Amino acid sequence: MPKISKKGILLPDSPIRKLVVHADKAKERGIDILHLNIGQPDVLPPKAALDKVCEAKLELLPYGSSQGPFSYRKKLCDYYKKNHISIEPNDIIVTTGASEALSFTLNVICDAGDEIIIPEPFYANYNGFAASSSVVVVPVVSVFDDKFELPSIEKMEEKISDKTRAILICNPSNPTGYLYSKEEVNALIDLAVTHDIFIIVDEVYREFIYNDSPHYSVLQNEKGREHAVMIDSVSKRYSLCGARIGCMISKNKGFIANAMKFAHLRLSPPALALIASEAALDAPQSYLEDTRKEYAVRKKVITEALANIKGVEVSDPMGAFYCIAKLPVENAEDFSKYLLTDFSDNGQTIMLAPAAGFYSSPELGINQVRIAFVLDSSKLLRAVEILEKALKAYSNS
C-alpha cells in the first residue's frame, strides 16, 4: 500500500464534526436533531448580501486579486474605523475564511517544530491548523471554576522557549465565551514585544458581547504594531458561514509581504462570496445590534435552563455564542454518541460537541461539552428538556 504521511495520520479529528456519521444514521431513522454542536447561526444575513449575488448578471467568473478586491478592503477599513481600529487596505489580505487566514499565519511565522502558546480550551481547529503546519501547540490551562479567565502572565511566560513564535487567543473565546479585557490584551502584547514573538488574535466574535465591557482589539495598541496579527471573518457577524470569506490584518509589512506568497498560491478568494460579503458590510448598525440582542436572550435562556438540571454546571459566557457545560457523566463523548445512537424523545434528539476536543491536554474536558446557542429560544428550551431526559436514561443504561 502507498504510504500515508505521519502528518495526515496524526491530524486530529474535529470534535465538532466527528459524530456526524452517527447523526446521519439517526436522520435516516427519521430522528429530528437539534444541532447544538456547531456555530451555524440561524439568524438571517443582511438581505442585501444574498440579493446582490442573485442580481449579479455575470457572464464569467474570472480570477480576482490574490489580496482581495480593493473596494472590499477599503470597506473593511471603514468598518474597523467605527470600532476604533485604524488600518489601511494594504494591511489586509482577504482569505477563504478565517481558517485560511490562520493557516497562512502559522505558515508565515513558523517552521516545522516551532511552537505557539494557546490558553486552553480553544477552538478545536487550532490543533488541526497547527498540526497541518507541523507546528507544536503549547497549552496553558484556563479553568472552568475561574470562568476560563486568562492564566497569569507568569504562567504564560513560563511556556516561552527559543522555539516559541506566537501566542494565540480568540477574543471573545470560542468555546468558552470568555472576553479578554483591555488590560489582559495589553499584557499579552507586552509579553510578545518583550520576547519578540507574534500575538495572534482571532476576533470573529467581536460583535457578540453580553456585558458592558467594550471589545478591545489587538490592533488598537500601537506598541504591538510589528507583533500583532488579527484574524477576522464575516461568517458569524453577518451569518455568512458558507461564504468562506475572512481576512488577516497586520501592520507588519514583512509579515504581509510573505503572507501574500501564500495568497498567490491559492490564486484568489471566491468571487460570488465576495459580492455577498461586500454588500453585508453596508448593513446598518441596527442589524448587528439586533443580532447581538437576540443572542443575549438565547444566552440567558440556555444558561438558566441548564443550571436547573441536577448535576449540570454551566459557564456564563461574556461573549461569542457558546458555553461550556459540565455533565454528570464520566465521558461526555460517549454520552454525546449515545444521544445519536440510542436515545430520542418523541422523535427528537440533540447533538453536542464533546469539549475534550477543545483541549490539547488529553486528560482535560472529559466530562464537558460545548453548546452553541444558535437556535431560537423555544428550540433551546426543547433541547435542554431532551438533555435532562437523556441524562436520566443514560445513567440507568
Half-sphere exposure of 346 (CA within 13 A, CB side): 6
* pLDDT for res 259: 98
pLDDT band with cut points at 50, 70 and 90 for residue 355 = very high
Task: Give me the pLDDT at residue 17, please.
Answer: 76
- What backbone phi and psi angles, to 5 degrees, belong to 19? -90, 5
Using alpha carbons only, what angle is made at residue 23 by residues 22 and 28, rounded to the nearest 5 degrees? Answer: 95
287 vs 380: CA distance, rounded Å: 22
Q: Tens digit of pLDDT for each residue in 21-30?
A: 999 999 999 9
pTM for this model (two decimals): 0.96
Phi, psi of 96, rounded to the nearest 5 degrees: -80, 80
Instruction: Examine the pLDDT at 210 and tell me if it is beyond 90.
Output: yes
Distance, C-alpha 306 to centroid of its chain: 22
DSSP H helical ranges for the chain: 6-10, 20-28, 47-55, 70-82, 97-109, 125-132, 153-158, 182-195, 253-265, 271-280, 285-307, 332-341, 377-395
pLDDT in tens, 312-336: 999 999 999 999 999 999 999 999 9
- pLDDT of 46 > 90? The answer is yes
How many other β-carbons are positioned within 10 Å of the β-carbon of residue 24? 11
Residue 231 predicted with pLDDT over 80: yes
Kindly state the percentage of the chain with pLDDT values over 90. 93
Give the pLDDT of residue 10: 79
| Position 112 pLDDT exceeds 90 | yes
> What is the mean pLDDT of the segment spanning 91-97?
98
Report the alpha-carbon distance of residue 383 to residue 35 in Å, rounded. Answer: 9
**Which amino acid does the sequence have at 177?**
G
Q: Could you give phi then psi for residue 38, rounded to 5 degrees? A: -135, 145
* End-to-end Cα spacing for the chain: 42
Q: Specify the CATH number for 58-280; select among 3.40.50.800, 3.40.50.1860, 3.40.640.10, 3.30.420.40.
A: 3.40.640.10
Give the Cα separation of 220 and 189 in Å (integer). 11
Task: Identify the pLDDT of residue 381.
Answer: 98
The per-residue pLDDT for 6 is 83
**Res 18 pLDDT > 90:** no
Q: How confident is the model at residue 309 (pLDDT cuts 50, 70, 90)?
A: very high
What does pLDDT average to over the chain?
Answer: 96
The pLDDT of residue 47 is: 96
- One-letter amino acid at 47 equals K
pLDDT-based confidence at 267, cuts 50/70/90? Answer: very high
- Give the pLDDT of residue 14: 77
**Angle of helix 332-341 relative to helix 377-395, nearest 10 degrees?**
100
**Are residues 101 and 259 in contact, defined by beta-carbon separation less than 8 angstroms?**
no
**Which pLDDT does position 13 carry in this prediction?**
76
Q: Measured between alpha carbons, how far is 16 from 221 in angstroms, rounded to an integer?
A: 34
Please say if the pLDDT value at position 16 is more than 80: no
Domain residue limits, the chain: 6-44+286-395, 58-280
Compute the distance between CA of residue 67 and CA of residue 260 in angstroms, rounded to an integer. 7
In order, the DSSP letters of 326-363 are: E-SSS-HHHHHHHHHHT--BTTEEEE-EEGGGG-SSTT
Question: What confidence score (pLDDT) does residue 7 get?
Answer: 83
136-195 residue pLDDT tens: 999 999 999 999 999 999 999 999 999 999 999 999 999 999 999 999 999 999 999 999
Question: What is the pLDDT at residue 8?
Answer: 84
**In the prediction, which pLDDT does 272 show?**
96
Give pLDDT, residue 240.
Answer: 97
CA distance 253 to 172: 27
Give the 3-state secondary structure of 48-107.
Answer: HHHHHHHHCCCCCCCCCCCCCCHHHHHHHHHHHHHCCCCCCHHHEEEECHHHHHHHHHHH
Least confident of 12-16, 65-69, 76-80, 90-94: 12-16
**The three grid cell numbers given for residue 343, joined into one nine-digit string:** 436515545
In the predicted structure, residue 57 carries a pLDDT above the cut 90: no
Rounded to an integer, the average pLDDT of 253-269 is: 98
Contacts with 383 (C-beta within 8 Å, 6 or more apart), sequence order: 34, 36, 350, 375
Residues of the chain with pLDDT > 70: what percent? 99
Q: Cis peptide before 214, with omega less than 30 degrees from 0?
A: no
Predicted confidence (pLDDT) at residue 12 exceeds the cutoff of 90? no
Peptide bond preceding 139 in cis form (omega within 30 of 0): no
Let me know if domain 6-44+286-395 sits in CATH 3.90.1150.10. yes
Task: Output the pLDDT for position 131.
Answer: 92
Report the pLDDT value the prediction gives residue 124, as an integer from 0 to 100. 92
